[in-house]
Every structure is written in C-alpha cells, then in structure tokens.
Amino acid sequence: MTTWSEPLKCSGTCSRAACRPPAVFVAAVVTLLPVTVWPAHRALRGYRIVKAIAKAPLVDLRTRASGLVKLRGTAQPAPALPGKGPATIVWYSGSSRSGSKRSTRTTTDNFLIEDDHGRCAVETAKAEIVPTRSVHSEGFLDQSRSTSEKIVQAGDPVFAIGELRRGQPLPAGLSAASCQLARRGGVLLVSGSPERHVTVLYTSWTVVHMLLGLLCWGALAFGAWAHVGSYPPSAGSAVMTFLDSLQTTPLQPEPGREHRLWNEVDEGKRDAEPQPD
C-alpha cells in the first residue's frame, strides 16, 4: 500500500468535506453519532409503547399474569408521613420562564394505582407519565413570562402499562402496595389521558423521530461518502487509503483530486484503455 508523510495543502477546487484531516473527520463523526442515535432510540421507544397499548392484556390486581399488562384504576399518593395530611397531587411537572431565566421542577415521589382488588406501586423515576391535565399561561402584559404545569391528582382515573411483579422489594414508602409495576422492554407508562389520545400522541412522535433519525443518518452517510470518496483508491479502495492516511498523516488535510496518488490512478486508467490502431 502506498503511504505518504509530506505535508499536503488543499486547493480551492476540493470540497470542504474532502479538505478535512482524517482525524478531524473521525472526531466529528464520533461527536455527531449520539445526535443520530437519539431520534432512533426515541422512535423505537414510541413504537414499543404504541404496540404495548394495542396488545397488552387488560387485567386487575387479582391476576397472576406475567409479561406486559395493562391496568386501570385511580392514582393514589404514597401513605402520608406522621403529622402530615394526605397529598392531593401524586405527580407534578412544571416549568416557568421569566425573560432569559428558566426553571423546571418535577416531583420524584412514587405513587400507587388502586383498583377494586388492591394497590400497585409505580416508581416515578422509571415511568413515562402522561398528565391528566396540562395548563399553560403567559403574562397578560409581559409575554416574556410564562408558566406550564402538568398534573396527575389523587383519585384521577389512569391506565398503566408495565410488567406486574410480586414478591420483590417495593419502592420506599409504598409498603401498602401488594405488587409493583416495573419497566419491561423500555415500556412503563402511566397515563391520565384516554388510550386513544396516547396512541395518537406516541404514533405521531414515533413518525417524527423516525424521519429525524433518517435525516441525521442520511447526512452522516453523505458526509462520510464525500470525505472518504475524495481519497484515491489505493490498493483498489478509497477506504483503504483513508485508513492508511488516518494512521500515517492523521492531521494533514486531504486535497481531493489534486492528491498525487490520483495521478497514478488516472495513468493506470489511461494504460488500460485500448489504443487506436
């Protein structure tokens, strides 16, 4: 394989992608890779939730069923501590904006789902919560001030999807529960909104994340094609030339078609062409 170590200079005719040193290109790919993985992960997560809503069997807390199940009941707070009254809100997430300042707050208290046959614990930190109600307000005279609140109140009807587990340690403060609803296959959902609404919501976001993921992967693939394709196909492959340059001259830019190895490729093509009689 042909190698080189002399400094190379980009000309104005090569593309920006081609003129980047190979080490810089690899660093850029590694940096951007999480951005491309995130929408794909969110799309897969949304698909699993939509599939679980459609296929998970509806059970009550008498069941001994295994796998993903669907429960219906009411949201209930954890038992109140001595000297405190019962909570009226089991889950809250709020954000406020005042000019350039923003603040958010989300409750981390675990809560219960209750039906006619018992109580089931839900670990809030591991669950996706769709609120019973959402409120957004803006300042009447000052549009730079706004507040958003998402709430699940005690006694609100909810449905939940997850794996029903019995005989395992329960989250702190939920010893009154007879079982726990746990995450399985990335799915643990508690919703105060109707199932149809949640299905439409997650289907829409799944499509959006899927399209965003395809766009990100397409942009990354095009950048790789533009950069690696600018290398002369030494040993029959531009990829091999790119890997060779990554080892020998990682911080020197690739000058595209003006690289001297392209002369060898072009001369080889001319020699292979049939000569006129």
pLDDT digits 0-9 by tens, 73-95: 999 988 765 555 567 888 888 88
The answer on pLDDT for 12 being more than 60 is no
The answer on pLDDT for 255 being more than 80 is no
- pLDDT the model gives residue 147: 82
pLDDT digits 0-9 by tens, 56-77: 999 998 888 778 899 999 999 8
pLDDT digits 0-9 by tens, 146-158: 888 888 999 999 9
- Taken in order 170, 173, 179, 181, the sign of the CA dihedral is negative
- pLDDT the model gives residue 8: 44
Mean pLDDT value of segment 235-262: 70
Mean pLDDT value of segment 176-185: 86
pLDDT digits 0-9 by tens, 111-132: 899 999 889 998 888 889 999 8
The answer on pLDDT for 214 being more than 80 is yes
**Which residues are 147's β-sheet partners?**
96, 137
Instruction: DSSP for 87-138, please give it.
Output: PSEEEEEEEEEETTEEEEEE----EEEEETTEEEEE-GGGSEEE-SEEEEEE
Q: Give the integer Cα–Cα distance in Å for 77 and 173.
A: 10
Q: Give the integer Cα–Cα distance in Å for 94 and 152.
A: 12
Of 17, 18, 235, the closest CA to residue 244 belongs to 235
3-state SS assignment for residue 187: strand
Q: What is the 3-state secondary structure (H, E, C) of 162-177?
A: EEEECCCCCCCCCCCC
- pLDDT the model gives residue 197: 92
Q: Give the integer Cα–Cα distance in Å for 203 and 142.
A: 36
Q: Give the integer Cα–Cα distance in Å for 93 and 228.
A: 47
The answer on pLDDT for 269 being more than 70 is no
How much is the mean pLDDT over the chain?
79
**Helix %, strand %, coil % for the chain, to 5?**
40, 25, 35
Q: What proportion of the chain, given as a percentage, has pLDDT over 90?
A: 25
Taking only Cα atoms into account, the Rg of the chain, rounded to an integer number of angstroms, comes to 29
Q: Give the integer Cα–Cα distance in Å for 8 and 26.
A: 19
pTM exceeds 0.95: no
> Helices 195-228 and 238-248, interaxial angle, to 10°?
80
Of 118, 128, 110, 115, the closest CA to residue 169 belongs to 110
Alpha-carbon 270 to chain mean position: 51
